[in-house]
Structure 1
Amino acid sequence: MEKSTFLLFFMIVVGLPVILGVGGDMFKRWLKHKERMAEALNAQTAEKAAQYAAHTERLEQRVRVLERIATDKGVALADEIESLRTLPADNAATRPLN
C-alpha cells in the first residue's frame, strides 16, 4: 500500500501542477490567438465600411447630377421638343440636329 500512496502523492504534487501549467499556457496562447483574430476582423470590417461609404458617396453624387439634369434642363428640353413639333414637316427634315 505504501507504494500506491507514494504514487498518488507524486501524481498530486508533481503531475497536477505540470498538467495545470501546460493547460494554462495553452489557454493563454488560444486566448491571444482569438484576440488577434478579433483585431483582424475589426480591421477588415472597418475597411469594408469605408469602401461602402465611398461607394455610397459616389452613388449620391450621381443621383445629385441626375436630379440637377432632370430639374434644370427639364423645362428647356420640353420647350425644344415642343418647338420641334411645331416645325413644318419639310423644314424639320432639313434642320440640322444639335
Structure 2
Amino acid sequence: MGVFEMIVGVVLIGTAASIINRWIAAKHGYEYEDETDTMKKIAPVEDPATEKRIQALEKRVRVLERIATDEGARLASEIEALQDAREDDLSDALSTPRFKTRETS
C-alpha cells in the first residue's frame, strides 16, 4: 500500500467518524454550532397542546395507580378478615364440646 492510499484511508476514516459522531449527537438531542464546532443540548419544543395531553395522561396514571393500590389493600384486608373469622370459628368449635357431659345434661 502506497502513501497515497494511506492518506486517502485516513481521510475517509476521519470523515466517517465525524459523520457518525454528529449522527449520534443528533439522535440524543444535541446539535453542533458551526462557528465553534461545539455541541449544545437542544431545548425541547414547548407546545401547549402537548403539555395538556401530558398532564391528562399523568392524571390518568395517578388514578390507575390509586385503583391498583387500593384494590390490593382492600383485597388484603378482606383476606385478613376471612382469616380472623376462620380463627374465631375454629376457637369456638374447639372450646365447645360436642358431647354431653354430666354438667351439661
Q: State the TM bucket, normalised to the shorter chain.
A: 0.5 to 0.7
1:56 has 2:56 as partner: no
Instruction: Please list every run of 5 or more consecutive structure 2 residues that lacks an aligned counterpart in the other structure.
Output: 1-46
CA shift for structure 1 position 60: 1.5
Structure 1 length normalisation: TM-score?
Answer: 0.53
Does residue 35 (structure 1) correspond to residue 71 (structure 2)? The answer is yes
TM-score using structure 2 length: 0.50
Identity %: 8
| Total equivalences in the alignment | 59
Shift in CA distance, 14/58, structure 1 to aligned 2, threshold 3 Å: same
* Cα displacement (A) at 1:71: 5.4
Deviations 1:13-64 (A, max 9, x none): 1111100001101110111000000110011001000000011112221xx5
- The code of the aligned residue for 1:29 comes to E
| 1:69 aligned onto 2:105 | no
Q: Which runs of 4+ in 1 moved over 2 A?
A: none
Say what the alpha-carbon RMSD is for the aligned residues.
1.8
Larger Rg: 1
- What are the Cα deviations for residues 54-82 of structure 1, in whole angstroms up to 9, with x where unaligned? 11112221xx56x512256xxxxxxxxxx
Give 5+ residue unaligned stretches, structure 1: 1-9, 73-98
